[in-house]
Structure 1
């Protein structure tokens, strides 16, 4: 395929800002991922058919690749590049001389505005930038957010393990509160429970938002079991059992053995008000 558009290989003679047609195989994605792959994304096929019928409406933005000769690095337009590749067509691109920071800002500004990144994609885009050493000020500019918002994105991205994110995908309808709930459940779960959730057969054939719901439900903590009451047997001086006392967080239960001391139960019941009054008096 590269030979079809040999004239569109990177060249220092191409003017900065020029629009050219490039072999999509020569266009490599930015090292900082802003998308979470989703194998169930059916919208791409519709997008590809639109490109087939109407052509590519908007050029992608690239720079000459800093470490691979004869290649470009994509600031934005990976979806358009992927469609061109699948259709066997060149991709229209604006070639600009971008610094690393300018590439990141252009990538963030365009993708966040145009591509409708989901919450978790924005969170991981921010984290990916931080992990490769992008300055906080550049991240803020690329994300178009304030520092507290960025801190929230980073905390959520840090809390969701890579295998969980890969199994769920972008989950476009899931916002921060539900991702935080999932993060809490992951922290409370054992590794075995997380692995079992990720291996659930209910994930098969589900869309990304539905996969999120399946994993969230699978990691729902079971209701805490009430501790069994602590039981104590009471015996008289002769060693005869006359009562059983059970203590729990809810209170205390006393069961009297009627055969051991007939009438004692009625005697105790009648004097409970006196015992209560004496107890309260003892407390001052």
Structure 2
């Protein structure tokens, strides 16, 4: 469903217009009589589709704002946002739209291969808010190529102060995975090649499961993400799993979840447990000694049959071995 928003037309997309969006209408035509024929219903549906198509075509020509059913608008296949179940800012955003209306329109394009549906260049949160409130999405419809859509999406990202560092890196990484050329990514991100390489390095170093657990972490910048990336490189899979399963993550906002995982990965990997008892062999494979460990100490038993006199020799060398050990510890 598409409906033109009443008001003066403009040459470019409005950015600060504020109107209260009405609830989604139950239908595009008055209630049908009880005995409406199948032919009448078909004609009504065809007229409704043609009217919606005319509205969209007119909006594309003059960049006017129209109202769309948010259920017909799909996010861009290349994600920029990192989902966060504890996003209090989104709740405040919804309340603002409830009270003041949707100030800025979204930008969408007719979705290729899906007649009647739209793909969002920017305005995902506006679409989610419209769904929550049961209102139409105010949007500008333009015919965009894939490259134009990405550049529009990236340009909007640059203007959004609430997009975190990791979300920018995530967006760049998703474009690489989708096979987008580096020069297009740089243009979409509005950045130089060196900065783009830095974003991509961070995106590649943070595993998806770590990113989804942490979320967007709006207050965390590049240096701390690089620190986390370094710790992930040397951490064992068990350490990462333990960090992601920590009870300290429950109920915490995204920035605090980052701090919990960063701290959990600061510890050195656990030492591999040594066997409590082991047999020592010489170069010929002969067992010349047995070492037994306990909480109180270590016992070494030599085999006099394999190495006669070695036990006495070892005992005589112990003072020098102890001195060398202490010297090594400083």
Q: TM-score range by the shorter chain?
A: 0.7 to 0.9
Shift of 1:249: 8.3
Q: Is the 8 A contact 2:81 2:171 kept in 1?
A: yes
- Residues 190-242 of structure 1, C-alpha deviation per residue, up to 9 Å, x if partnerless? 111100100000000101000000001111133999xxxxxxxxx9xx97948
Query: Is the aligned partner of 1:87 residue 2:162?
Result: no
Query: Is the aligned partner of 1:31 residue 2:77?
Result: yes
Q: What are the ranges of 5 or more consecutive residues in structure 1 without an aligned counterpart?
A: 226-234, 254-284
TM-score (norm 1): 0.78
Q: Tell me the distance in 1 between the aligned counterparts of 2:86 and 2:210.
A: 16
Shift of 1:137: 1.3
Q: Is the 8 A contact 2:82 2:215 kept in 1?
A: yes
Paired position in structure 2 for 1:183: 229
More displaced stretch, 181-190 vs 72-81:
181-190
Q: Is the 8 A contact 2:74 2:119 kept in 1?
A: yes
**CA 1:62–1:10 in structure 2 vs 1: closer, same or farther (change >3 Å)?**
farther
Paired position in structure 2 for 1:156: 202
Q: Is the 8 A contact 2:239 2:269 kept in 1?
A: no
Query: Is the aligned partner of 1:218 residue 2:264?
Result: yes
Q: Tell me the distance in 2 between the aligned counterparts of 1:139 and 1:242.
A: 67
Q: Tell me the distance in 2 between the aligned counterparts of 1:73 and 1:250.
A: 70
Q: Tell me the distance in 2 between the aligned counterparts of 1:118 and 1:13.
A: 36
Shift of 1:163: 0.2
Counterpart of 1:244 in 2: which secondary structure? helix
Q: Is the 8 A contact 1:64 1:72 kept in 2?
A: yes
**CA 1:141–1:25 in structure 2 vs 1: closer, same or farther (change >3 Å)?**
same
Paired position in structure 2 for 1:141: 187
Counterpart of 2:67 in 1: which secondary structure? strand
Give the alignment partner of residue 40 of structure 1, picking from 67, 82, 86. Answer: 86
Paired position in structure 2 for 1:13: 57
Counterpart of 2:83 in 1: which secondary structure? coil
Shift of 1:18: 3.1
TM-score (norm 2): 0.68
Give the alignment partner of residue 207 of structure 1, picking from 246, 253, 275. Answer: 253
Shift of 1:186: 1.0
More displaced stretch, 57-66 vs 108-117:
108-117
Paired position in structure 1 for 2:319: 244
Aligned-residue RMSD, C-alpha? 2.6
Q: Tell me the distance in 1 between the aligned counterparts of 2:243 and 2:119.
A: 37
Counterpart of 2:57 in 1: which secondary structure? coil
Counterpart of 1:105 in 2: which secondary structure? helix
Q: Is the 8 A contact 1:10 1:64 kept in 2?
A: no
